[in-house]
């Protein structure tokens, strides 16, 4: 590898690391659910219920997603029609 190739690769890796660092705070800044919040809901209600809740709620309304996931999960467990 030439020196210029190494420096380009290093610049790219630094840019990628910086982008990852900056984007870590974006979900809260724009009101999106973080992966940790989504995982906590998935552990409690199941992936299907959380995905359905996300479809029915406004973007970023985590409490709405929690309520809908709970409703879907409860109705599914009870054998009732969900939608």
User: Domain range for residue 3?
Assistant: 1-29
> What pLDDT score does 24 carry?
57
Higher pLDDT, 50 or 1: 50
Tell me, yes or no, whether 76 and 38 share the same domain. yes
Task: Convert 33-60 to b/e letters by CB count within 10 Å (16 or more is b).
Answer: beeebbeebbeebbeebbebbbeebeee
Tell me, yes or no, whether 63 and 36 share the same domain. yes
Tell me, yes or no, whether 41 and 19 share the same domain. no
pTM of the entire predicted model? 0.59
Tell me, yes or no, whether 39 and 23 share the same domain. no
Gap between the Cα atoms of 47 and 50, Å rounded: 5
Domain count for the chain, please give it.
2
> What pLDDT score does 51 carry?
92
pLDDT tens figures, 14-67? 776 666 655 555 554 455 788 899 999 999 999 999 999 999 898 888 999 999
| CB-CB contact of 82 with 72 (8 Å) | yes
Average pLDDT over every residue of 2-15: 76
């Amino acid at each position: 590898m030439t020196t210029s190739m190494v420096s380009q690769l290093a610049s790219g890796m630094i840019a990628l690391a910086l982008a990852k660092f900056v984007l870590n705070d974006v979900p809260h800044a724009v009101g999106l659910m973080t992966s940790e919040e989504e995982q906590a809901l998935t552990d409690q209600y199941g992936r299907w219920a959380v995905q359905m809740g996300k479809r029915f709620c406004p973007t970023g309304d985590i409490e709405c997603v929690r309520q809908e996931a709970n409703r879907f999960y409860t109705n599914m467990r009870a054998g009732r029609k969900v939608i």
